Amino acid sequence: MTVRMDLNISLDGVVAPSNQSSENPMGEDWGKIVNAYSATRTFRERVLHDTTGEGTSGVDDRYAAAYFEAVGAEIMGAGMFGFHSFPDDPDWQGWWGGEPPFRVPVIVLTHREHPPIDFANGTRFEFLAAPPEDALSLAREYAGDGDIRVGGGAEVARAFLAAGLVDRLHVAITPVILGRGTRLWDDLREFERDYAVSSEVAESGVIHVTFTR
């Protein structure tokens, strides 16, 4: 069983742009680092439910497809689920819509108490206040023979990486300089030491770097 993580970052290592606003909850910089991923056929089909077959089919799409393959359980932070966007609405079910792309149990790390939410496609959001190790133990029970993906956001990703819990980290680096926001690599000195590293450049210009142990 592999604990996997896929992140989109800028060339200066920003994983969470800092200029969010209520009109633009992900921030204007967000688009720059997810453009190529959002343009893939897999993303359009799986996340946007676009069945026209449109979208890119090159290197970026190969990574996008792998993103969802063989995952048995997911872990994400409250922000990625969407809790921060409408904090006063008790019926808000996150921003993933009626067919969340996960289709597996998702552990949402949050201090807010909330009953689980089940979707017909197999996605089940479960809300838990727990340190990374404990969340991972529970995810292992859920995942069966599948892998566990730690989805993000930045704080959750950095906590799992710093704790040495991630077996495969894939970063998709868009060659733009954001200059502001949360940087992925801070405090991860010598992270590469226990990993083999491989890189390739997509048609879009995105640089895919994968750390595997």
Where do contacts with a copy of itself occur on this chain (CB under 8 A)? 11-13, 175-180, 183, 185-192, 197-201, 205, 207, 209
Between residues 18 and 121, which has the closer beta carbon with respect to a copy of itself? 18
Distance, in Å, from the CA atom of 152 to the CA atom of 213, rounded to the nearest integer, reads 20
Nearest approach, Cβ of 34 to a copy of itself (angstroms)? Answer: 16
CA-angle at 163, arms to 178 and 212, nearest 5°: 75
User: How many helices (H) does the chain have, and how many strands (E)?
Assistant: 6, 11
Instruction: Looking at 69-199, list the stretches that DSSP marks H as alpha helix, in order from N- to C-terminal side.
Output: 78-81, 132-143, 154-162
Q: Name the one residue in this structure whose structure tokens are 């801070």.
A: 186
Nearest approach, Cβ of 180 to a copy of itself (angstroms)? Answer: 7
Between residues 11 and 163, which has the closer beta carbon with respect to a copy of itself? 11
Between residues 111 and 189, which has the closer beta carbon with respect to a copy of itself? 189
Task: Give the contacts of 51 (CB within 8 A, at least 6 positions apart).
Answer: 45
Between residues 19 and 121, which has the closer beta carbon with respect to a copy of itself? 19
Nearest approach, Cβ of 52 to a copy of itself (angstroms)? Answer: 30
C-alpha dist (Å) from residue 82 to 96, 134, 190? 8, 22, 32
